[in-house]
Structure 1
Amino acid sequence: MAIVVNIDVMLAERQMSVTELSEKVGITMSNLSILKNGKAKAVRFSTLEAICQALDCQPGDILEYKE
C-alpha cells in the first residue's frame, strides 16, 4: 500500500515552479521536496490546505492511494 503525491502533475498543469509554490505555501524548498518525492511520513492539514489553495485544487488531486 502506498500514498502517491501528485504535486508535480499539479505544478505542470498550472505552469508553476516548485519555488513559486514554496513561497505561496510558506514552507521550505527542502520540506516541499520531501513531500513531493513521497518521503514525508506526515502532512499537516494546514499545509495541505495551503497547497490546495495555491494550486486551486482538492486534496484528492494531490494525494492518491495505490496498492
Structure 2
Amino acid sequence: MKERRISNKMLAERMGVHRNTIQQLKEAHPTMIRLRHLEQLCQVLNCQPSDLFELSPEIAGVTSGT
C-alpha cells in the first residue's frame, strides 16, 4: 500500500471496514481472508489477488507433497 500512497485510514474508508481490519491484514500475517475483503482490496488497489500474496515455504512444501 506504500507503493499506492494510501493510508490505512483511507483504505478502510474505501473498503467500508474498520481500520483495525486493515491493520490485522497488514501485520498479523493472516492465514485466511474473507473473500469480500479480498475483492474490496483488489478493487481499491486496482490489482489482482496474486499481487497481494506470496506462498510461504512451509505451505509450498505441503501443497507440493514434499
In the superposition, the TM-score normalised over structure 1's length comes to 0.75
Q: How many residues align?
A: 57
Structure 1 residue 45 and structure 2 residue 35: aligned? yes
Q: Which residue of 2 aligns with 1:33?
A: 23
Runs of 4+ in 1 over 4 A off after TM superposition: none
Percent of paired sites with the same residue: 33
Task: Name whichever structure is richer in strand by fraction.
Answer: 1
Flag the structure with more relative contact order, 1 or 2, with Cα contacts below 8 A and sequence separation at least 6.
Answer: 1
Highest CA radius of gyration, 1 or 2? 2
SS in structure 1 at match of 2:28: coil
Look up the equivalent residue of 1:43 and give its one-letter code.
I
**What amino acid sits opposite 2:43 in the alignment?**
Q
In structure 2, list runs of 5 or more residues that go unmatched: 58-66
Q: Determine which of 12, 15, 19 is the counterpart of 1:22.
A: 12
2:48 is equivalent to residue 55 of structure 1: no
Distance 2:20 2:29 in 1: 11
* TM-score normalised by length of structure 2: 0.76
**Residues 39 and 66 (structure 1 numbering): CA distance in 2 closer, same or farther, change over 3 Å?**
closer
Greater Cα offset, 43-52 or 31-40: 31-40
Gaps of 5+ in 1: 1-10
